[in-house]
Chain A
Amino acid sequence: MTVAQPVFPHKHLLGIQELKPADITTILDLADIYVEQNRQTNKRKSILKGMTQINLFFENSTRTRMSFELAGKRLGADVINMSVSTSSIKKGETLLDTALTINAMHPDLLVMRHGNSGAVKLLSEKVSGAVLNAGDGSHEHPTQALLDALTIRRRKGRLHGLIVAICGDILHSRVARSNILLLHAMGARVRVVAPSTLLPVDVDRLGVEVFHDMKAGLKDCDIVMMLRLQLERMQGAFLPSVREYFTLYGLDLDKLSAAKPDALIMHPGPMNRGVEIDTAVADDIHRSLIQEQVEMGVAVRMACLDLLTRHARENGPAVTGGAS
């Protein structure tokens, strides 16, 4: 290893909530190294050789699942994807029964996404391998926040003191929650910009400034982070219309002009042009980091897989304690 052994005192990666600033720095520092490795022709390492990684996705995903798959494979693990359409859940099996079945196959790494908040933590209590949360309901999506942080840190050189505006559907967004926690922990000033119906109750208690006027919220911002309008999670009408939403909260050049001249634009994807972001802004290669975020995603996930397996790689697998 070229890297000094960092201390990463966590068995699972369930959320940013559990991480300390030092843990976050550890992940980002290691991810920086993997960014360089991923730009080589030979992207492969074998540190996870012989280990099994199962990607367990109860919600549809393309980019996150691919990113985790690629991360595992580039580190030499055997990666298996299991998606809900082929799983036994469709046949009536409970989440915990599925977990026990999978645990019996001795996976070293379980990457899981689920539509219910807290489902990943529930699973983690029943399996012996390391569990990575790839998104649970409207709760957390820690690797997204980490890759966003890496993207920002590489462009701006720091996180501390930056003004970051997270705009749009905060209420339904696990990305927003993880990003708020991470950026706040790292000393950034976080703002949320949204109509009141798309903000969680008492969101200001999470340490953010709340804005309903987009231009006021973007004023002097270093980073504008747009979120997708999660219409599929909306029960009933939170908004009058997409037309009104785009007029008031869609990121266009006019609203962006309130931010700092060198402000950068991020979006976790998939983005909806003409809903939360204008095409001219999304395609601005000087300001849009949307492609870069995808690249950072693989590196950050490699860093997480690396760190979470170190203990097992050095000391052998943990005693199976999942069957309760």
Chain B
Amino acid sequence: MTTAHRKILLTNARLLDPATQLDQQGQLLIEDGKISALGPDIFNGSPPDDIDIIDCQGLCLSPGFIDMRVFIGSSGAGLRNITEAAAYGGVTTIITVPRATELTDDIAVIEHTARQAEGLPINVCPMSPLTKAMAGQEMTEIGLLSQYGVTAFTDGKKPVANAQVMSRILQYAEYFDPLIIQHIEEPELAANGCVNAGEQASRLGLVGIPTIAEVIMLERDLRLLQECRTRYHAAQLTTYDALDAMRQAKKRRNGLSAGVAVPHFALNETAVGDYRTFAKLSPPLRNEMDRQAIVSALADGTIDVIVSGHDPQDPESKRLPFEQAADGVIGLETLLPLSLELYHNKSIALLDLLAKFTCNPARLLKLDTGTLAVGSPADLCIFDPDKPTTLNPDDFPSKTKNTPFEDRPVQGIVQRTLVAGKTVYEREAV
């Protein structure tokens, strides 16, 4: 393991910086945990002796990934396991979704998560609940929490259903300039649903969640947003109609952004198959037309952010009748290889793809990472974009194995992950 206080030179790298569209062979120098230089040949072929050298062997060197949607359990041990999974996946910063809690003193909850994250290998940034106890009725202390340093507010998997409450939140928040993140689902239309509404739901005898539940909630919020300049992020958009609504809205107003989770473009509703609870998600996996709309929206910039939606679930929560089973998949380990499918099948350029989990979330969340800019933290990922492999959950650090991607052949693998110049993961030689 290399340490942070020494100078580290990463050589023989393909430097990829989505923030500046940089894609060139070269070197990157780390000093005191920060990026201090980058270029084709920083020391004119003769680096000083007191320097650690890491040979990247021609692999890609990009900013470490930022995962904007990670669910954490209540125990600190769970969080450690999640950070190990992140490091394995090249993720150097996780943005954690608040837990439903009865606690009303929200700053204390944020401080608690921050304390749990001390000493962990990667950066952990907690988001705050948007409403008290995530009950959708009263806004949290957006002003005080913003002063404390929180930049994003969300009720996680719960939408703010009450239009008056949402309207007031958007009005009130404008001055503090946080990112307001909404779960895009009209709860009455989605009530009791567990899969995408349609032929498959009908055949399986499951209550469906219609696609209009998504577009109605989004269009409601877009109307409310006409009254203010508050920044608004649709946590996940998964339907053709909602994506088109967002695409049109972005032409009229700044400060709108959208995310999508990997499974929604890597799978469609057929993955649910014969009641496969590992493919149960919120929002549900959609049909193939919607999936293709997501890919198009990633390519044309309607979707700004790709998240893993990493959500560990115990076997007890998944080995249940489909309707009763918990939703959620683990995803930190598979964020890169599954996203790279879009690059390999030529849906999107490599730098534009990487932007979705580096500089784009950094910009939305006002983070100083997610870029190779000189002076920013040396949060880095070295990866091979082409290496073929088969996803095997037994290799993943995550203790829970709730992934629908077992045995999926993919291309791309993380070689090494650095946080503030310190190597937090390195793939063992085979």
A interface list, Cβ under 8 A from B:
195-197, 212-213, 236-241, 243-244, 247-248
Contact = CB atoms under 8 A, between A and B. Distances in A.
B154 to A, nearest CB: 15
A240 B175 contact: no
Given A196-B228, A240-B139, A247-B144, 20 more contacts: A195-B143, A195-B172, A195-B175, A196-B171, A196-B172, A196-B175, A197-B171, A197-B172, A213-B175, A236-B165, A237-B137, A237-B165, A238-B172, A240-B132, A240-B140, A240-B144, A243-B141, A244-B142, A248-B143, A248-B144
B168 A238 contact: yes
B168 A247 contact: no
Interface string B112-146: 00000000000000000000100001111111100
Interface of B: 132, 137-144, 164-165, 168, 171-172, 174-175, 228
B168 A236 contact: yes
Contact of A236 (B164, B172, B174): B164
Contacts of A244: 141-144
Contacts of B141: 240-241, 243-244
B143 A237 contact: no
A67 B164 CA distance: 39
A240 B171 contact: no
B406 to A, nearest CB: 44
Given A244-B144, A247-B144, A237 B171 contact: no
A87 B12 CA distance: 90
B168 A240 contact: no
Contacts of A243: 141, 144
A196 B142 contact: no
Given A244-B143, A248-B143, A239 B165 contact: no
Nearest to A235: B164
B137 A240 contact: no
A212 B175 contact: yes
Nearest to B142: A240
A237 B175 contact: no
Contacts of A240: 132, 138-144, 172
A67 to B, nearest CB: 35
A274 to B, nearest CB: 16
A66 to B, nearest CB: 36
21 contacts: A195-B172, A196-B171, A196-B175, A197-B171, A197-B172, A212-B175, A236-B137, A236-B165, A237-B139, A237-B168, A238-B168, A238-B172, A239-B172, A240-B132, A240-B139, A240-B141, A240-B143, A244-B142, A247-B144, A248-B143, A248-B144
A125 to B, nearest CB: 34
Contacts of B165: 236-237
A255 to B, nearest CB: 14
Scoring A212, A213, A240, A247 by chain B CB atoms within 10 A of each residue's CB, the highest score goes to A240
Contacts of A238: 168, 172
B138 A237 contact: yes
Given A240-B143, A247-B144, A196 B138 contact: no
Contacts of A248: 143-144
Contacts of B140: 240
Contacts of B164: 236
A202 to B, nearest CB: 11
B233 to A, nearest CB: 20
Contacts of A213: 175
Contacts of A239: 139, 172
Contact of A196 (B132, B137, B144, B174): B174
B259 to A, nearest CB: 25
Contacts of B168: 197, 236-238
Contacts of A237: 137-139, 165, 168
A247 B143 contact: yes
3 A-B pairs with the lowest CB-CB distances in the bound complex, closest first: A212-B175, A237-B138, A240-B141
Nearest to B164: A236
Nearest to B171: A196
Scoring A238, A243, A244, A248 by chain B CB atoms within 10 A of each residue's CB, the highest score goes to A244
A197 B143 CA distance: 13
B320 to A, nearest CB: 37
Contacts of B172: 195-197, 238-240
A269 to B, nearest CB: 26
A240 B165 CA distance: 11
A240 B140 CA distance: 5
A54 B172 CA distance: 42
